[in-house]
Each structure stands twice: as C-alpha cells, then as structure tokens.
C-alpha cells in the first residue's frame, strides 16, 4: 500500500529515495491502488454502468445532505420536501423560528441540531456571497470548492463531496459509512484509516470520470451484500481480493 495525495507524484512512480513502496514513512498502511481499481472494475460488472444524468441546485444539495446525516434517504427526502413546501425561499428558512423549522424537518431526525446547522450555514453563505446561491462553486477547482465548503459550520468532507459530485460536476469522492466499511474490509484502505482521511486517499486513485461509478457501486455493495452485521459473503463477487473474507 502507498499513501497518496491528489497532487502526489507518487502516482507516477516518483517516490522519494528511501520511501517504502507499501507504506507511509511511519509504516502505517494507507491505500492500495490496485485493490481500488479491481473493486471498481468488478462492481461495475456486477451493478452495471452508472451515469449522473442530472444535477441538483448546489444549495439544495447542501441542505439535503445536512438533512441526510444519521437517517435514511427516505426520511431525509421527506424532510427536504417538507422544508421546501413550507418555506418559499432560503431567506424565509433563515428567518424562521427555530422551533418551527425543527418541527418542519422532524421526520429527518436530530431536528434541533440540523435546524441550527441549516440556519447557521445559510447565514454564512449570505454574509460571504451576498445571496443564497452556491453556483459559483462550479467555476472553482475541486480543491478550492472543497475548501470553501468545509469552512462552513458543521460541513465535513462527506457533505462537501455530495455537493461537488452531485451538483457541481466535480470528481469528488464521497465516503459514507457503507463505503468506509467496504473499503476497509476489502483492504482498499488500511484498517485504521478514518472516513475523513479516506476521501483524499481514494480520490487520488479513482479516475475522475469513474468517481460517480465508484460511489454508487460500492454504496450498493455495502447496502446489499457487505452488511455491517452478517455480510453475505456467499454472494460477494469480491471474495478473491477481500482481506476480511480471506481472514475468515
């Protein structure tokens, strides 16, 4: 395994002298490019090609992703529809009574926390941009756009990745709980790599035009086969390269 960064010359084999080819200087295994690409190929064959045909408004995607934290897609989608149906503009969401906004999005869970996060985020966007729009992110580099988003209150790499990949046509990696679990079990990343760190490591290996394919395929694999409890290894197409299966 080799530790990679998005701008790393190590991708081209230009490792500094004395740098071990399978680990970082501290000897901690980080990412296995070969397994990442093998997984991408095998799961593309299993689940078919995936193409993002349409994009949401970036600010809509940001709020939806905040609502999706620690809940199901069904509940977050319903909470988002309730919010959009009750408030005619983002200004009205920002100026809403906290208790009213919490009640509106309650079906999405953690309503108090999410309501405050949404209003704080809208306030910062308005202060910094003078309008309720994130369309400008589409004109920034991936690095610049991610840095701007993760500077917002409570916005981490996963939420930023969703906005950039789904709404801005940027090759951003998204690592949710399913993808993080699968990546560690297969051995795409080291067992101690956090979900936040996995974003940069996997993004450096997956080809830009396959980022959405990787996200959807590994997500489906985690949901349908590689469950957190009792993974269905007997139906898994990745057993030959999976560290978890081989150890069992």
First-to-last C-alpha distance (Å) of the chain: 21
Position 14 pLDDT exceeds 50:
no
pLDDT digits over 162-204, tens only? Answer: 999 999 999 999 999 999 999 999 999 999 999 999 999 999 9
Cβ atoms 115, 98 nearer than 8 A: yes
Catalytic one among 3, 35, 114, 158? 158
**Res. 21 pLDDT band, cuts 50 70 90:** very low
Burial class (CB in 10 A: 0-12, 13-18, 19+), 110: middle
CA distances from 64 to 71, 166, 179 (A): 11, 11, 19
pLDDT digits over 94-120, tens only? Answer: 999 999 999 999 999 999 999 999 999
Residue 114 bears catalytic tag: no
């Amino acid at each position: 395994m080799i530790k990679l960064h998005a701008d790393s010359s190590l991708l081209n084999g230009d490792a500094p002298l004395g740098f071990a080819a399978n680990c970082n200087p501290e000897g901690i295994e980080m990412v296995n490019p070969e397994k990442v690409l093998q997984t991408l190929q095998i799961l593309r064959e299993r689940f078919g090609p995936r193409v993002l045909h349409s994009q949401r408004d970036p600010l809509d995607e940001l709020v939806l992703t905040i609502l999706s934290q620690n809940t199901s897609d069904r509940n977050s989608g319903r909470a988002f529809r309730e919010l959009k149906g009750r408030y005619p503009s983002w200004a009205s969401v920002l100026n809403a009574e906290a208790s009213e906004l919490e009640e509106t999005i309650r079906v999405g869970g953690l309503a108090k926390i999410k309501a405050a996060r949404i209003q704080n985020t809208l306030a910062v966007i308005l202060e910094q941009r003078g309008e309720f729009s994130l369309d400008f992110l589409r004109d920034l580099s991936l690095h610049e756009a991610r840095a701007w988003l993760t500077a917002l209150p409570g916005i981490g790499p996963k939420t930023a990745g969703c906005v950039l990949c789904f709404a801005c046509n940027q090759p951003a990696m998204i690592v949710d709980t399913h993808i993080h679990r699968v990546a560690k079990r297969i051995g795409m990343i080291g067992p101690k790599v956090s979900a936040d760190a996995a974003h940069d490591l996997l993004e450096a290996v997956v080809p830009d035009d396959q980022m959405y394919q990787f996200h959807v395929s590994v997500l489906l694999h985690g949901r349908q086969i590689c469950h957190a409890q009792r993974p269905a290894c007997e139906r898994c197409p990745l057993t030959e390269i999976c560290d978890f299966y081989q150890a069992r």
